[in-house]
């Protein structure tokens, strides 16, 4: 399918930016056939993905948000009802690993046009991005 790829910085970033992928993004990855491969990345599939708040590193626990391990996500998504009905739940995995999967898929696609930066509206009228 024809597509446009616009990216300011080509390549995989060497600075860590995100450590989780939200449900809506995982839905897009599912449509692209990448959700399973991305869910295999990150923490082991049986490791809980809880978010924990401490007073100091490894001292008194203030709060814990219990989140399921990756192995349980599919069943939870199928059973979800109400305001959070989604075929994909969020996944905890570093952005660097997710982008490696996306980069491999991108190389197999044939973009019709490609640029490493978006042009301003003034220069857009003079050239194709």
77-to-13, 58, 72, 82, 91 alpha-carbon distances in Å: 31, 32, 9, 12, 12
Write the pLDDT tens digit of every residue in 7-49: 777 777 777 778 888 889 999 999 888 998 998 888 888 988 8
Domain boundaries, the chain: 4-118
- Rounded to whole angstroms, the Cα distance separating 124 from 129 reads 7
Which pLDDT score is estimated for 99?
Answer: 85
Write the pLDDT tens digit of every residue in 38-80: 988 888 889 888 889 998 887 889 999 988 888 888 788 778 7
59-to-37, 48, 62, 64, 67 alpha-carbon distances in Å: 35, 19, 9, 13, 21
pLDDT surpassing 70 at residue 82: no
Helices (H) then strands (E): counts for the chain = 5, 4
């Amino acid at each position: 399918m024809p597509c446009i790829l616009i990216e300011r910085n080509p390549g995989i970033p060497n600075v860590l930016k995100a450590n989780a992928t939200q449900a809506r993004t995982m839905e897009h990855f599912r449509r692209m056939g990448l959700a399973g491969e991305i869910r295999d990345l990150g923490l082991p599939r049986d490791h809980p993905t809880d978010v924990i708040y401490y007073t100091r590193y490894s001292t008194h626990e203030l709060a814990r948000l219990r989140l399921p391990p990756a192995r349980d996500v599919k069943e939870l998504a199928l059973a979800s009802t109400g305001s959070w009905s989604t075929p994909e739940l969020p996944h905890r995995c570093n952005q660097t690993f997710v982008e490696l999967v996306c980069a491999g898929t991108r190389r197999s696609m044939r973009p019709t046009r490609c640029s490493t930066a978006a042009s301003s509206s003034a220069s857009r009228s003079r050239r194709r991005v």
